C-alpha cells in the first residue's frame, strides 16, 4: 500500500513539466527515504535524478519499496487537471497495475480521482559516485534560463568557462559569436539573486544547448540553480526543491574530435 499526500501539489505539477520533454517513460521508486526517479533521455546523453524526501509529504505511507513505471507525458496530462492550490495524493495498492492521483481543492469542496495505468519499464539504474568538482557556480535560475535561450538563437553548443574572473558562457554559429560573462556578485539584496563561484581549478567544457534548454524547464521549481563542473565529468545542473529535495540533470560534455 502506497499513499503519499503532498499539500503543495503544484510542486509535482512543476516536476512533471520539468522532465516530460526529456524522458518519455520512467520508473518512480518509492521507499522510506522518499519518492524518487532516475532516468536517461532516449539517446543516453542526459540523465535526470529527482528526490522528494518523505518528510516533505504531509502523509507518507510506503509499506514496501515499489517501482512504478509511468509514461511521463500521460502523467503530466493528468497532473495538469489539478489546480495549482490543490493537495495531491498518490495511491497504489500492492501489486496493482494502476496509480490513482487524487486532487483536493484547498477548501475541500472539490475532490477528483484520476486513475492511470502503470507500465513495465526496463530501465538501467546508474550509480553516481560523489565527486570533487573543479568549480561550482550558483546563480539565479531565471538568469541561467535566459542565457541558455539567448545563446541557442546563435549557436548549438555552449562553452562554459570558469575562472577567478567569473563564469563565461560562449557560443558561435553561422551568424556570429556571443559571450556572456557573469561575475561573482554576492552584494545583492536577496541571497537568491547572487552569483557565487567556488573554484578549485579553472575549467572549460562544451555542452549541447538543446539539453540545457530542456533542463531550464525546471526553473519554476527554484530561484537558484547550481552548476557543478569538472573536466572529463558530466556537468550537474541542480535545482533544489524547497524543503523536499532536488532535481538534478547530468549532461555529458562534448569532446573535440
Among 210, 237, 244, 242, which Cα is nearest to 223's?
A: 242
254 binds other proteins (CB under 8 A): yes
The nearest distance, CB 201 to other proteins, in angstroms, is: 19
Q: Which of 128, 181, 188, 242 binds other proteins (CB under 8 A)?
A: 128
Q: Is 175 exposed, middle or buried (0-12, 13-18, 19+ CB in 10 A)?
A: exposed
CB 195 within 8 A of CB 187: no
CB closer to other proteins out of 126 and 181: 126
Q: What angle do CA 225, 81, 79 make, to 5 degrees?
A: 45
CB closer to other proteins out of 67 and 206: 206
Within 143-172, the residues that bind other proteins by CB under 8 A are: 157
Among the candidate windows 38-46, 105-113, 137-145, 175-183, which touches other proteins by CB under 8 A?
38-46
Residue at grid coordinates 535545482: 239
253 binds other proteins (CB under 8 A): yes
Number of other CB atoms surrounding residue 59 within 10 Å: 11
The nearest distance, CB 166 to other proteins, in angstroms, is: 24
CB closer to other proteins out of 17 and 41: 41
The whole-angstrom distance between residue 137's C-alpha and the CA centroid of its chain comes to 17
Calpha distance 17→27 (Å, rounded): 16
DSSP, collapsed to helix, strand or coil, labels residue 7 as: coil
Among the candidate windows 2-10, 26-34, 122-130, 240-248, which touches other proteins by CB under 8 A?
122-130
Q: Which of 46, 62, 88, 147 binds other proteins (CB under 8 A)?
A: 46
Number of other CB atoms surrounding residue 230 within 10 Å: 19
CB closer to other proteins out of 178 and 182: 178
Within 173-232, the residues that bind other proteins by CB under 8 A are: 206, 208
Q: Which positions lie near other proteins, rule CB under 8 A?
A: 40, 43-47, 124-129, 157, 206, 208, 233-234, 250-257
Amino acid at each position: 500500500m502506497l499513499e503519499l499526500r503532498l499539500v503543495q501539489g503544484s510542486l509535482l505539477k512543476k516536476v512533471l513539466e520539468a522532465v516530460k520533454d526529456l524522458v518519455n517513460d520512467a520508473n518512480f521508486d518509492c521507499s522510506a527515504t522518499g519518492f524518487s526517479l532516475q532516468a536517461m533521455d532516449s539517446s543516453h546523453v542526459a540523465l535526470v535524478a529527482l528526490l522528494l524526501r518523505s518528510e516533505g509529504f504531509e502523509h507518507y505511507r510506503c509499506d514496501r519499496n515499489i517501482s512504478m513505471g509511468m509514461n511521463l507525458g500521460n502523467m503530466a496530462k493528468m497532473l495538469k487537471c489539478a489546480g495549482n492550490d490543490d493537495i495531491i495524493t498518490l495511491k497504489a495498492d500492492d501489486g496493482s497495475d494502476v496509480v490513482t492521483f487524487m486532487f483536493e481543492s484547498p477548501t475541500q469542496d472539490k475532490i477528483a480521482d484520476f486513475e492511470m495505468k502503470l507500465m513495465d519499464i526496463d530501465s538501467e539504474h546508474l550509480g553516481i559516485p560523489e565527486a570533487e568538482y573543479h568549480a561550482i557556480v550558483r546563480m539565479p535560475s531565471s538568469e541561467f534560463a535566459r542565457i541558455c535561450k539567448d545563446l541557442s538563437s546563435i549557436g548549438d553548443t555552449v562553452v562554459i568557462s570558469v575562472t577567478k574572473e567569473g563564469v563565461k558562457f560562449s557560443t558561435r554559429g553561422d551568424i556570429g559569436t556571443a559571450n556572456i560573462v557573469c561575475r561573482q556578485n554576492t552584494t545583492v539584496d536577496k541571497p537568491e539573486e547572487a552569483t557565487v563561484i567556488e573554484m578549485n581549478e579553472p575549467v572549460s567544457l562544451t555542452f549541447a544547448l538543446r539539453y540545457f534548454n530542456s533542463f531550464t524547464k525546471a526553473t519554476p521549481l527554484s530561484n537558484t540553480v547550481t552548476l557543478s563542473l569538472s573536466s572529463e565529468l558530466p556537468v550537474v545542473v541542480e535545482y533544489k526543491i524547497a524543503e523536499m529535495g532536488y532535481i538534478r540533470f547530468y549532461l555529458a560534455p562534448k569532446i573535440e574530435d
